[in-house]
């Protein structure tokens, strides 16, 4: 019997809420499910398919290089992938940008490679409580002056580092401080498993500095959070999105495998992005290796 991978998301949104009926999404073919004028669910189907993306296999860090031209320092090789959930059956990370309040996070997975009904909670975080289970908060502040984890390069910039309790800085060990759950405006934080990268077997592609694996195979993310409405935001609106773990392990905003449109790369799912000029509205988008003329389908 063929076992198909599954990716599920449950968002528990505390007030103030931005998920009203005006929520928009790319490639909507049927209306989203609403109740009392508020959004209750969105469903992407036909997500995967056969295709390829450019995996980062190395990065040259030399002061003599021209870092303005990625081809001079960012080494990539094509990787072919296929499957009903591809590339989202790869190891994934969740990214949060502020201002966002994170109350609880739980990740569930089935045992082994099965998709039985007996899914178990494999990761857990509760704001204000120490020692999250199999869940590490990270950010892209490695190697900066005063940094206590990660590394920095003239072309790659900062690697991943272990986030401090207020998410504004970094510390030397995973979850060293108790997290308040408040992601400050303009900052980002992402979560990985507690498994450190040791080889390509648990962390595909190139990685550097402080690197951890994400959640592979079938997974269910449950997130309880809140965001201010758009009129309360003076800078970049808050958002929550999923990335292939390869992206953050190389350079989230530089040499990586992500892409947009027809060059969807190794996978990105923008779960919820607040719209600055439209209060109580958000947007959801999906990028992957399948050409743009085979869009993912969103329905209720």
Q: Is the pLDDT of residue 31 over 80?
A: no
Least confident of 15-24, 35-44, 236-245, 258-267: 15-24
Query: Of the given ranges (29-38, 204-213, 217-226, 229-238), which has the lowest mean pLDDT?
Result: 29-38
Confidence (pLDDT) at 63: 62
More confident residue, 207 or 293: 207
Task: Provide the mean pLDDT of the chain.
Answer: 81
In a domain, 81, yes or no: yes
The predicted pLDDT at position 174 comes to 96
Residue 124 within any structural domain of the chain: yes
Split into its structural domains, the chain has a count of 1
Residue 156: inside a domain: yes
**pLDDT attached to residue 159:** 96
Write down the pLDDT at residue 281.
73
- Note whether residue 186 is domain-resident: yes
Domain for residue 2, yes or no? no
Give the residues across from 139 on adjacent strands: 161
Tell me which range, 180-189, 256-265, 272-281, is most confidently predicted by mean pLDDT.
180-189
Max mean pLDDT range (62-66, 205-209, 259-263):
205-209
- Contact between 289 and 266 under an 8 Å Cβ cutoff? The reply is yes
Does 34 map to a domain?
yes
Does 273 or 233 have the greater pLDDT score?
273
SS percent in the chain: helix, strand, coil, step 5: 5, 40, 55
In a domain, 1, yes or no: no
Does 272 have pLDDT greater than 90?
no
b/e for 206-228, b at 16 or more Cβ within 10 A? bbbbbbbbbbbbbbbbbbbbbbb
- Tell me the two tokens of residue 272: 């919820």
* pTM tops 0.85: yes
CB atoms within 10 A of CB 26: 14
pLDDT-based confidence at 26, cuts 50/70/90? very low
Token readout for 49 is 């398919």
Predicted local distance difference test score (pLDDT) of residue 121? 94
Q: Which of 107-111, 144-148, 166-170 has the lowest mean pLDDT?
A: 144-148
- Structural domain for 40, as ranges: 7-299
Whether pLDDT at 286 is above 90: no
Q: Quick one: pLDDT at residue 224?
A: 92
What integer is the mean pLDDT of 218-224? Answer: 92
> Measured on CA atoms in the order 268, 213, 94, 59, is the torsion positive or negative?
negative
Evaluate whether residue 183 is within a structural domain.
yes
**Residue 279 pLDDT > 50:** yes
């Amino acid at each position: 019997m063929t076992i198909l991978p599954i990716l599920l998301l449950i968002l528990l949104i505390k007030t103030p809420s931005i998920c009203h009926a005006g929520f928009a999404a790319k490639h909507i073919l049927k209306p989203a499910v609403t109740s009392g004028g508020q959004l209750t669910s969105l469903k992407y189907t036909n997500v995967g398919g056969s295709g390829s993306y450019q995996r980062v296999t190395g990065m040259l860090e030399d002061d003599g290089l021209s870092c303005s031209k990625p081809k001079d320092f960012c080494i990539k090789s094509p990787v072919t992938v296929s499957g009903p959930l591809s590339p989202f059956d790869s190891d994934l990370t969740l990214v949060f940008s502020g201002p966002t309040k994170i109350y609880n996070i739980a990740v569930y997975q089935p045992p082994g490679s099965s998709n039985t009904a007996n899914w178990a909670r494999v990761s857990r975080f509760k704001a204000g409580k120490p020692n999250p289970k199999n869940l590490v908060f990270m950010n892209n502040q490695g190697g900066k002056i005063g940094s206590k984890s990660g590394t920095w390069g003239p072309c790659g910039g900062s690697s991943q580092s272990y986030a401090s309790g207020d998410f504004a800085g970094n510390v030397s060990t995973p979850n060293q401080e108790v997290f308040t759950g408040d992601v400050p405006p303009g900052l980002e934080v992402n979560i990985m498993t507690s498994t450190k990268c040791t080889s390509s077997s648990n962390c595909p592609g190139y990685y550097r500095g402080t690197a951890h694996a994400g959640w592979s195979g079938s997974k269910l993310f449950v997130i309880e959070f809140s965001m201010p409405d758009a009129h309360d935001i003076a800078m970049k609106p808050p958002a929550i999105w999923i990335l292939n773990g390869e992206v953050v392990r190389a350079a989230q905003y530089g040499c990586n495998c992500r892409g947009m449109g027809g060059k969807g790369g190794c996978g990105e799912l923008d779960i919820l992005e607040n719209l600055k000029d439209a209060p109580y509205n958000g947007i959801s988008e999906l990028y992957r290796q399948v050409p743009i003329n085979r869009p993912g389908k969103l329905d209720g």
